[in-house]
Structure 1
């Protein structure tokens, strides 16, 4: 089956029984404002010319092997229209709309659906008899441009989705990485499972995908190499994962490259054995990249629980402070702990290690009246703070052979030989 391009009325489309919203889709998030905008657009078009054709947008479908059509792009609009039919009592006449609304939804989606259903009812009461005219116009005169891709073209469907939804604005660098690495997966059957995991992280309530890259993976990998990750601008600099750093996560293709440092990964891959994932590992194209993101996300989400289990009263008083001035140093501490656990294991995270990492991370916040992202990056990886040399502790950690080796390399003189009590007293001044 080739890619198909058609135009369908809303009525014809919502009579199709094979429509469904795949589990990798993001939540339904249209609000009352979008509902009102759609309704009055339809009403105005009807009043201007009841015979006119109204182009309502595009729809990207992924035709699956069992005949089902997964909605890759367009679910917000179709669910909203289905809610309109439900509010009017025409729900059962359209099998596609009925199927869409009877799927299992997240709590976020259900909350928005309930609010929008109420909004449709409010609009229906406002317009009185005109409600049926608007509905009929929508079903028979409103068209969608439908792009339907075959079962082996899921990666292409998502690339098309990205281009459709980001026209005129830059894609997020992690969106570019998704498209890049999907193209490197030879077994297309793996794509849907891969995208399900990816989309789960996109809107994760504790750590979403943007923050995973921006505040953790990008910083950890750069700082562990002794690089600040700063982008210079005319006045100052900023610390952010941008397209300029996208090559950090592109990696190599194991089927094409035979470098000695890749031998262990290639041998394991050739024998269908999953290789170990760690935060600073070489980037490998395709499925390995998505495995890296999933494993890294899971480990960083577990970090909060790990710290909760190990924190003493003094540690809790420091890391649980909510003032905004401590957010940057808390990020530095979290990344340092994440790298240590990733390298040496949770069981090696002793109170002594936590104390060292905590004092090192919070030291610049106490010594400076204010710190910026550039201050943080230069302290963490640039080796400079207030014109003095400091330790690049994540790089030291990344080069250490054991927890004890790491502790022996730590130069406590660089942070005034403070202990945890000293740090707490300084914070509470």
Structure 2
């Protein structure tokens, strides 16, 4: 077998290539959100020396008519989007940088209704966005944005390579992509400072990081604003891309954050000398991300909170009076015999996410009263439904009247404690252990 050949290609070079989209490829499924994220990244990084968009895997072969062809094995979603962006730019601007042809625009043909619909919708959106481009940004897009192009001459080997990149060995989870993004945002730092910033990340089990992002950070970000948080994929990572405080044109909303960051940074240098007891930035789980070193600071401290929330022996769950509801609930969750069931795991995660969100915002104030409220709300699907599915919990969490939404909107603990749980009128669940707690607290109608 031939060795895969990898080289860096500028977007302009890729656009001038006549790549074929094979019939076996999945439909073009990028949404306007995906397109918007890509365009925003191009605009955001225009002051950089280069911006690496991704990888494209090409199968190069000779067909039965002795024609030399190049077929995309992986990367078609971005490639087609770049073609649409180029087409829109060329229609709007008459400048020398755009005076070349992209042959694929003439030769590509689509029969799939999904592909056709998405291509039309995305192109209409892109035409509204290119008004933000100027000649300098167009030059950056064509001559500084780049791909890693991997060329392979054996189709079986091409698929094997694609598979190894996407599903085998060390999978490139969304949080890995975020690490790469935020490392790029730290190019102004010395290598020694970068090492210090990411040392906790590198020392942490990658599956713990994966769990923290997918099952806690992402869910808080989305559920608190009424969005679905069933799956955290690479298409959702933009929620953890935020503001670069070194930007010369910070929006007014980011200026107070920049002042806070400068203050904390100076205090670290003067008082703490970067040891583990250093004061960290007062990040909030539902706030926008600060790019670069502060992102890694956020992950360091919030992932420790996740670990504490998942451990019933942590101080968060101690110090309650033995006759209190909080004590009884914690003891039940520790010994709950059906905790292994999938539906119960979903409810437990909802309980932990909500408690984490509360502690992140209000600290440990009145936990003895708050924990029962969170428990009875989070496990409600388990009592009502025979089968608790991920979608059921997702809908419960992002409902306009959910406890998570209330935590986001509240300024005081008292605003949360007045939340009233409606008694369950019809039981469909199969958890007598938990149902007894609901009955005892008059949360199931007779």
TM-score with structure 2 setting the length: 0.50
Residue equivalent to 1:290: 296
Deviation at 1:317, TM superposition (A): 1.1
Residue equivalent to 1:241: 232
* Matched ranges for 1:391-402 at <5 A: 391-402=401-412
Residue equivalent to 1:191: 194
Residue equivalent to 2:244: 253
Is the 1:319–1:330 Cα contact (8 Å) retained in structure 2? no
Deviation at 1:371, TM superposition (A): 1.2
Deviation at 1:242, TM superposition (A): 0.2
1:363 aligns with 2:373: no
Query: Could you tell me how far apart the structure 2 residues matched to 1:293 and 1:283 are?
Result: 11
1:345 aligns with 2:363: yes
Deviation at 1:380, TM superposition (A): 0.4
Query: Could you tell me how far apart the structure 2 residues matched to 1:218 and 1:167 are?
Result: 24
Query: Could you tell me how far apart the structure 2 residues matched to 1:244 and 1:178 are?
Result: 15
Residue equivalent to 1:49: none
Is the 1:326–1:365 Cα contact (8 Å) retained in structure 2? yes
Query: Could you tell me how far apart the structure 1 residues matched to 2:384 and 2:166 are?
Result: 44
- Please report the RMSD computed on the Cα atoms of aligned residues, expressed in angstroms: 3.1
Is the 2:365–2:413 Cα contact (8 Å) retained in structure 1? no
* Matched ranges for 1:175-190 at <5 A: 175-185=176-186, 186-187=188-189, 188-190=191-193
Aligned to 1:377, what secondary structure does the other structure show? helix
Is the 1:224–1:395 Cα contact (8 Å) retained in structure 2? yes
Residues 1:191 and 1:403: Cα distance change in structure 2 (over 3 Å): same
How many residues align? The count is 245
Query: Could you tell me how far apart the structure 1 residues matched to 2:164 and 2:199 are?
Result: 21
Is the 2:285–2:357 Cα contact (8 Å) retained in structure 1? yes
Is the 1:222–1:228 Cα contact (8 Å) retained in structure 2? yes
* Matched ranges for 1:262-341 at <5 A: 262-271=254-263, 272-273=265-266, 274-303=280-309, 304=311, 305-309=314-318, 310=320, 311-318=326-333, 320-321=335-336, 322-324=339-341, 325-341=343-359
Query: Could you tell me how far apart the structure 2 residues matched to 1:294 and 1:425 are?
Result: 41
TM-score with structure 1 setting the length: 0.52
Residues 1:337 and 1:214: Cα distance change in structure 2 (over 3 Å): same
Query: Could you tell me how far apart the structure 2 residues matched to 1:184 and 1:318 are?
Result: 42
Deviation at 1:353, TM superposition (A): 1.1
Is the 1:269–1:275 Cα contact (8 Å) retained in structure 2? yes
Is the 2:242–2:288 Cα contact (8 Å) retained in structure 1? yes
Aligned to 2:243, what secondary structure does the other structure show? coil
Aligned to 1:278, what secondary structure does the other structure show? coil
Deviation at 1:394, TM superposition (A): 0.5
Unpaired runs of 5+ in structure 2?
Answer: 1-147, 149-160, 267-279, 321-325, 426-434
Residues 1:165 and 1:253: Cα distance change in structure 2 (over 3 Å): farther
* Matched ranges for 1:10-409 at <5 A: 167=165, 169=167, 171-185=172-186, 186-187=188-189, 188-203=191-206, 208-229=208-229, 239-256=230-247, 257-271=249-263, 272-273=265-266, 274-303=280-309, 304=311, 305-309=314-318, 310=320, 311-318=326-333, 320-321=335-336, 322-324=339-341, 325-349=343-367, 351-383=368-400, 391-408=401-418
Residues 1:425 and 1:404: Cα distance change in structure 2 (over 3 Å): closer
Deviation at 1:421, TM superposition (A): 5.0
Deviation at 1:246, TM superposition (A): 0.7
Deviation at 1:323, TM superposition (A): 3.3
